[in-house]
Structure formats: structure tokens, C-alpha cells
Amino acid sequence: DTEVTQTPKHLVMGMTNKKSLKCEQHMGHRAMYWYKQKAKKPPELMFVYSYEKLSINESVPSRFSPECPNSSLLNLHLHALQPEDSALYLCASGGRRTDTQYFGPGTRLTVL
């Protein structure tokens, strides 16, 4: 099973709201990723967790706050976002040896 699930599928929020995106995988992968993707562009890496510890933060603004409660779950907490943060947010998980990443279906975020 190579499934990564993400909720919600769509999210509309105002600039003063606080919301969270959730990601789950049951493949036993120890690395999990958050990406941001704008239309007609490749995904841009935001954060990487390895063994539940934050290992990479690609200089993402602090209004995005990741959390990895356990090896199967990854959250992205959102606060005081800007309209330019509207995008598709993708979660991925990866195995240790192969570095193959498996992506979830994404959350389409709209910031008003």
C-alpha cells in the first residue's frame, strides 16, 4: 500500500484564521515532507521530518508551523496567512533506503 492521505481536500481561510492541514501514512516510512505547489509549477519543498524530528526547513515563514506527533502523522499549522499563500499543499512520505517519495492528493488552500 503506497497511500498517503491528506485532509481536508479544500480549505478556505481568512488572513486572521488559524487552521491545520493533516497528513497520514501507514507505510512505515520514517521521512515525511511538506511541499507547496503553485499552478503550472513544480512542488517546492517546505519541511522535512526524519524520525519525527525536523531535519529541513527551507526558510519557510513562521506563519507555517509543522508538527510530527508520531511516525505516521504530519500536521501543518497555519496562522495569519497571506493571499499569496494560496496553493496546493502536498504531503509526501519516503522510505529510508530508496529515497522514493510517495505523495498525497494535496490540500487546495485559498486565503482570502
Partner 1 sequence: AQSVTQPDIHITVSEGASLELRCNYSYGATPYLFWYVQSPGQGLQLLLKYFSGDTLVQGIKGFEAEFKRSQSSFNLRKPSVHWSDAAEYFCAVGLAGSSNTGKLIFGQGTTLQVKP
Which residues lie near partner 1 (CB under 8 A)? Answer: 2, 4, 6, 30-31, 33, 40-43, 45, 48, 50-51, 55-56, 88, 90, 92, 94, 96, 98-106, 108
Closest separation in Å from C-beta 48 to partner 1: 5
| Closer Cβ to partner 1, 47 or 64, answer by number | 47
Whole-angstrom CA distances from 57 to 11, 31, 47 are: 23, 14, 5
| Closer Cβ to partner 1, 18 or 55, answer by number | 55
| Closer Cβ to partner 1, 15 or 54, answer by number | 54
| Closer Cβ to partner 1, 45 or 80, answer by number | 45
Closest separation in Å from C-beta 100 to partner 1: 6
